[in-house]
Amino acid sequence: AGCGWGYGSKNGPSHWHEQFPIAKEGSRQSPIELKNAETKYDSSLKPLTLSYDASSAKSLTNTGSSVQVDYEDGTDRLVLTGGPLCGKYRLRQFHFHWGACDDHGSEHILDGTSYSAELHLVHWNAEKYCDFAEAAKAPDGLAVIGVFLKVCNENPALQKMLSSLDCIKKKGSKVEFTDFAPCALLPPCLNYYTYLGSLTTPPLFESVIWIVLKEPITLSSEQMTKFRTLEFTGPDDPMQDNYRPPQPLKCREIRKNFQ
């Protein structure tokens, strides 16, 4: 069988509809362009609350499309509540999307600006659903916090992960990765935009309540270069430009919790 979906010219985002029709037929696909002037301030939106105990990080994996840190999500360890959400959402994993150069690479675009990378913290609704796979198929099943990465000064919180990338250069490789508090990757200000969307990779399920932070976190250009030392399929195929372009807004509203 041909290689599965990816980000190449033969299996990239413009081909995904061939195996995943929702890519073209969906009504709430992600990512999108965020135009601040067209978003609506909603005073009923609550602040985000991230509960945070000794973190339950498990492993660091090269998934073949991103680098991902998986969490033990059998109990309420890292829980997201508040914001636009009803109930509590458990952190399952976080991963990144980035470009071949620092001037692009994020999935969401904010007022015409592409950032160098974007962090996604993926949570699932553990109050309503039994496990991640079930939640991933429900319209209110997932909540993903998107954080923009901007090349500026070094980010010490990323160093522990980036210094482990040499061990997972190859697709499918995985190493133990513990005691990593994801809150260290958040900016001081948690002002956010929120809208109803989808997974930005196949199967592109329309099950994500997106929460995109307005304030980016920063990292150095050396740290950004480190991401690109990972491989998609082999040594001549560096992992980069693993982002989906913006999708039609259709009849969706984007709200924000700040004026």
Query: What are the residues binding ligand ID4 (CB under 6 A)?
Result: 120, 122, 133, 136, 142, 144, 199-201, 203, 208
Number of residues binding to Zn ion, judged by CB under 5 A: 1
Q: How far apart are CA 230 and CA 128, in angstroms?
A: 36
| 91 vs 142 by CB, closer to ligand ID4 | 142
Q: What residues numbered 178-217 form the site for Zn ion, per CB under 5 A?
A: none
| 41 vs 247 by CB, closer to ligand ID4 | 247
199 binds, among Zn ion, ligand ID4, none (CB under 5 to 8 A by kind): ligand ID4
Tell me: does residue 120 bind Zn ion (CB under 5 A): yes
| 120 vs 226 by CB, closer to Zn ion | 120
Contact 87, 125 (CB under 8 A): yes
**CA 93, 45, 208, 117 torsion-angle sign:** negative
Give min distance, CB of 186 to Zn ion, in A.
Answer: 16
119 binds, among Zn ion, ligand ID4, none (CB under 5 to 8 A by kind): none
226 binds, among ligand ID4, Zn ion, none (CB under 5 to 8 A by kind): none
Q: How far apart are CA 179 and CA 95, in angstroms?
A: 16
Q: Please choose, out of 12-20, 39-47, 119-127, 179-187, the segment that lies near Zn ion by the rule CB under 5 A.
A: 119-127
Give min distance, CB of 133 to ligand ID4, in A.
Answer: 4
Give min distance, CB of 44 to Zn ion, in A.
Answer: 28
Give min distance, CB of 106 to ligand ID4, in A.
Answer: 11
168 binds, among ligand ID4, Zn ion, none (CB under 5 to 8 A by kind): none
| 209 vs 224 by CB, closer to ligand ID4 | 209
HEC per residue, the chain: CCCCCCCCCCCCCCCHHHCCCHHHHCCCCCCCEECHHHCEECCCCCCEEECCCCCCEEEEEECCCCEEEEECCCCCCCEEEECCCCCCEEEEEEEEEECCCCCCCCCCEECCECCCEEEEEEEEECCCCCCHHHHCCCCCCEEEEEEEEEECCCCHHHHHHHCCHHHHCCCCCEEECCCCCHHHHCCCCCCEEEEEECCCCCCCCCCEEEEEECCCEEECHHHHHHHCCCECCCCCCECCCCCCCCCCCCCCCCEECCC
Tell me: does residue 108 bind Zn ion (CB under 5 A): no
Tell me: does residue 150 bind Zn ion (CB under 5 A): no
Q: What are phi and psi of 75, to 5 degrees?
A: -135, 170
Give min distance, CB of 44 to ligand ID4, in A.
Answer: 25
Give min distance, CB of 116 to ligand ID4, in A.
Answer: 16
| 110 vs 166 by CB, closer to ligand ID4 | 110
Give min distance, CB of 68 to ligand ID4, in A.
Answer: 8
- Per-residue tokens: 80: 């997201």
